[in-house]
Amino acid sequence: MKSTFSVLFYIDRSKTNKQSKCVIRCRITCNGTSSSFSTGLSTSPNDWLARKARIKEEANRASFVNLQLNSMDERLHTLYELTLREENYVTAEYLKEQYLRQTKPIPTLIELYQSLFESKEELKGHTLSKATVRAFKDSQKSFVRFLRASNNEECLPQAVDKDLIESYRLFMLRDLGNKESSVSNRLRHLHQVIRKALQEQYIREDPFDFIDIETPTYERNALTSDELHKLLSFRPHKSVDNHCRLIFLLGCFTGLAFSDLKKLRMDDVYTLSDGRRYISLCRTKTQNRCIIPLLPIAEEILSIVSGGRKEGLIFREFPTNSHFNRKIREIIIKAGLPPHTEATSHTARHTFATTICLENGLPIETVSKMLGHRFISTTELYAKVSKSKIAREMQPLMGSDTTRELRKALRVCPPRDPSKKP
């Protein structure tokens, strides 16, 4: 069936502005259906020629307005032919949407990044954590630095391709000195911006379809029982070092993250009717409530740090994360741990989950609740099996009857002498 198409301009006489002018509207008709929109132009009803759908030539601004209307008519017909040829199907409403999208200025990547950041900023503290929003903001700054370094600040979404993404990846690794994990996260943030451009139909294809964003797998560090014992026995000479050591040890025996230890208050420590004490607070990152029964050593650390106080913050002085990590690395070496031992503020949380809880048989569901995780799949990342646990659980199998019987059945053939021919 042959497709029909027409464009008609008319004035809306039902509405006039302060100058008694009417808005000129455009009606698109395609295969019997129509859709209209405002052209953004206006004219006096007396100057409008309905038969020609234009303004009288002698009217004020007639040449300018008529030229604009002619241009719109030409662009709509061109768009109709192009859409019909490429998609083999067109409606009046779809054509209107495509035309209005073309006339709307396309934002740059920096503007799209900023728009997405502002939408995340509104969700901060509700469905998104402050850390998530802050990480996205850091990614935005990183990408802006990349565009400025390449003199491409006005880069549009259509310009993003595999080469640009790979150049950005190299820039973060070489010029910014980012780790592989940070690079992967920032590329994912850029992918969110590209998906927004796809959603707004500024682009038709996703360039990330040809990019593999790999997240490097790292060994999640946790101190062993022996290493933890050495750290407990060590007494630093400096009070600053001892303060950092107590913060780290409290994390090892409660599983609280660095940000949660920083805001921990006396009011967060509760006593049950049977005398048992536990910590209950909402996590800074996820806002999930975690419930942690206090082990005796954790209670002792709390009593040392609090100094008999009944209210306020547990730690009245708290180091920055970078300073704390540097101090902990120095302390563990002084405590006699191997020099290659990796330890950060998050190592304490892993130590609690792995060495204190999971290796001693606690169910992973219980550990997940104490850590304040939303999903148990997050807790499973902590559930690494140590070498000592493997050796301990394999020990009964070493001298079992089954193993001995299998060993007797083994027939060892002597190695063949290559000098002797068959």
| Cα–Cα distance measured from residue 344 to residue 252, given in angstroms and rounded to the nearest whole number | 11
Cβ(45)–Cβ(13) below 8 Å: yes
| Cα–Cα distance measured from residue 115 to residue 196, given in angstroms and rounded to the nearest whole number | 10
Written as six digits, the tokens of 315 are 């730690």
Query: What average pLDDT does this structure show over 418-422?
Result: 61
Element (H, E) at 395: helix 387-398
Strand, helix or coil for residue 171 = helix
Q: What is the pLDDT of residue 419?
A: 66
Whether pLDDT at 1 is above 50:
no
Query: What average pLDDT does this structure show over 232-256?
Result: 91
DSSP state of 14: E
Q: Which residues, listed in sequence order, are joined to residue 278 by a DSSP beta bridge?
A: 270, 293
Q: What confidence tier does 188 reach under pLDDT thresholds 50, 70, 90?
A: very high
| Cα–Cα distance measured from residue 193 to residue 113, given in angstroms and rounded to the nearest whole number | 6
Query: What average pLDDT does this structure show over 236-242?
Result: 89
Percent of the chain predicted with pLDDT > 70: 88
Whether pLDDT at 412 is above 60:
no
Q: Which among 150, 157, 170, 148 is positioned nearest to 116, based on CA atoms?
A: 157
Answer with the residue of higher pLDDT: 422 or 223.
223
Chain segment 343-372, per-residue pLDDT in tens: 888 889 989 988 888 888 888 888 888 888
Query: What average pLDDT does this structure show over 263-290?
Result: 84
Whether pLDDT at 236 is above 60:
yes
Chain segment 94-130, per-residue pLDDT in tens: 888 888 876 667 788 999 999 999 988 888 867 777 8
Other C-beta atoms lying within 10 Å of the C-beta of residue 26: 22
Supply the pTM of this predicted model. Answer: 0.52
Whether pLDDT at 272 is above 60:
yes
Query: What average pLDDT does this structure show over 4-8?
Result: 90
Amino acid at 116: L
Rounding to the nearest 10 degrees, give the CA dihedral for residues 236, 240, 244, 245.
10
Query: What average pLDDT does this structure show over 26-38?
Result: 90
Amino acid at 207: P
Whether pLDDT at 241 is above 70:
yes
| Cα–Cα distance measured from residue 87 to residue 202, given in angstroms and rounded to the nearest whole number | 17
CA of residue 68 relative to chain centroid, distance: 45
Instruction: Give every strand in the sheet of 289-293, ordered side by side.
Output: 269-271, 277-282, 289-293
CA angle 64, 66, 70 (to 5 degrees): 120
Query: What average pLDDT does this structure show over 29-58?
Result: 89
Strand, helix or coil for residue 172 = helix
Chain segment 129-161, per-residue pLDDT in tens: 788 888 999 999 999 999 999 898 888 888 888
First to last CA, the chain: 84
